[in-house]
Amino acid sequence: MSSYPESAARLVERMAEAATADPARAVSFQGAPGANSHRAAMEVAHTCLPLPCFSFEDALDAVTEGRAGRAIIPIENSQHGRVADIHFLLPESGLHIVGEHFLSIHHSLMAPRCVGERPAITAAYSHPQALGQSRIYLRTRGIVPLSYADTAGAAAYVADLGDPSLAAIAPRIAAELYGLEAIEDNVEDAHDNTTRFVVLAREPLPAGCVTGPALTTFVFEVKNIPAALYKALGGFATNGVNMTKLESYQRGASFSATAFFADIVGAPGDPAVDRSLEELAFHCKELRVLGTYPLERVRG
């Protein structure tokens, strides 16, 4: 908690105390109170005890160590793409995906209150994702983007600095929590801006408990031979399984070990899914299912 700005650290301490008293109800998230991940946690579980964590690793460790029952982590944004490092962190955590949630993202420009005429805003602090989602807005106004660990933490930092020429880009609730003035709302460049979150737990959902449409997420690494990926994915086409996500990322410094992160519609136990995964495994050096969980939003 010492890494948070002072005004945020006080809120974090109170929320951590509540979560410690009832860890089963705690949902860990990365960021300071008022961050979009905080909003997502409350939407997924209205009666949860939100547990702020300074980094994604801290949020995942809170579940691994039993300090929280679940974690909620952003995985991709409709405007700015995938969240950095998540593809490495999720498999390494040993946790299982048990749900997904889509959150509409709306950013506000906020700054310390001032007496008299407000000076021009010269710079704005925020998480790199939020800065990227507001890139055009900032550039056209000559506001310098400055990176910070999270959106709400940036708001708390600006509040502690007290300089009315410095602003933060964060959810509007952060202005209320840290006593800032919301200068302008909806500063994101695309108003359909949406972030997909995944919910993680120590144990997977029991087999067969997802009765409606399901999504299965897995990571795999194909053998380093010609056409390996083409052959590995062929089973999904021949079995009629819809793959809604496929992203590659590098493992190690050799740049020869390419891993893939994928989502398919369906669940193990479905014969078509089982045949597809069996064919995939035949062409892979490694295959690991990260979770099967209810589909919150129909793809396509």
Does domain 214-294 correspond to CATH entry 3.90.180.10? Answer: no
> pLDDT tens-digit profile of 169-226?
999 999 999 999 999 999 999 989 899 999 999 999 998 899 899 999 999 999 888 8
Which residues belong to CATH 3.30.70.260 in the chain? 214-294
Please, which pLDDT band fits residue 1 given cuts at 50, 70 and 90?
Answer: very low
Question: One of 29, 197, 220, 260 is an active-site residue; which one?
Answer: 197
54 is catalytic: no
Per DSSP, helices labelled H in 45-127 are 56-64, 86-93
pLDDT at 110: 98
Closest CA to 184 of 175, 196, 192: 175
In words, the CATH class of domain 6-105+194-201 is: alpha beta
Query: Is the pTM above the cut of 0.85?
Result: yes
The H or E element spanning position 27 is strand 26-30
Question: One of 29, 54, 195, 261 is an active-site residue; which one?
Answer: 195
195 is catalytic: yes
Closest CA to 121 of 189, 174, 184, 190: 184
Which residues belong to CATH 3.40.190.10 in the chain? 6-105+194-201, 108-184
CA distances from residue 202 to 77, 160, 210 in whole angstroms, order as listed: 25, 37, 18
> pLDDT tens-digit profile of 99-140?
999 999 999 999 999 988 999 999 999 999 899 999 999 999
> pLDDT tens-digit profile of 252-300?
666 666 899 999 999 999 999 999 999 999 999 999 999 999 999 988 6
Mean pLDDT in residue range 26-51:
96
In words, the CATH class of domain 108-184 is: alpha beta
